[in-house]
Amino acid sequence: MIISKLLKNFTLSCLAVFTLHQSCIAGNGTFSNEKEHGDWITGSFVMDGQKTARMGTKYVQDNVGIFLDFLTPELYLIEIVRTKDRTDRGMEPKYYLMDIAIAVDDNKSYKFEAKCAEDETVSECFVPQSKNDELVKLFKSGNKVNFKIGNLDLYFSLSGFSKAFSRASRLVK
């Protein structure tokens, strides 16, 4: 599934509690101003009147995609999003706390436990805010990223990541 279709067709519940703002962005969102950068898509994202910017992987893999949501050019949150398979809903794994190992080009990797939220449409795991900058540096240094999430072994291309990151941080201004 193309991520832009996911953004237009799914309602995201609470995206995150941003500690600097002490607020939760929730509700239906409108994705616009879409542009592709290699294997990443950027665009403006408005939820409940709050303008943000979002970037994400162009495609999901095994129903998993990666999003970065920007509240300001410096304040963003990385999410690993798992879509629901509606035809086989009872079999969908449910992750509330997840051990995620991340490696970029097998040069550097680290593990951490991500916090996950769940609603009827998506299961989202949020990278701890303190790890966001470290992970972005890791993403910018490689050609692909390997996620090991439970029994899933996923590879995402990082082609266009740096350009997408720059555009998303400008869109939120």
CATH fold label, 3-83+95-171:
Immunoglobulin-like (2.60.40)
Q: What is the pLDDT of residues 5-51, one digit of tens each?
A: 444 443 333 333 333 233 334 444 667 888 999 999 998 877 666 77
Would you say the pTM of this structure is higher than 0.85? no
- Rounded to whole angstroms, the Cα distance separating 37 from 29 reads 22
Q: In which band, very low, low, confident or very high, does the pLDDT at 169 lie, cut at 50, 70 and 90? A: very high
Per-residue pLDDT tens for 62-117? 778 888 888 788 888 888 877 655 444 343 444 434 567 777 777 777 777 666 66
H helix count then E strand count, the chain: 3, 12
Structural domain spans, the chain? 3-83+95-171
Residue 128's nearest CA partner among 68, 77, 59 is 77
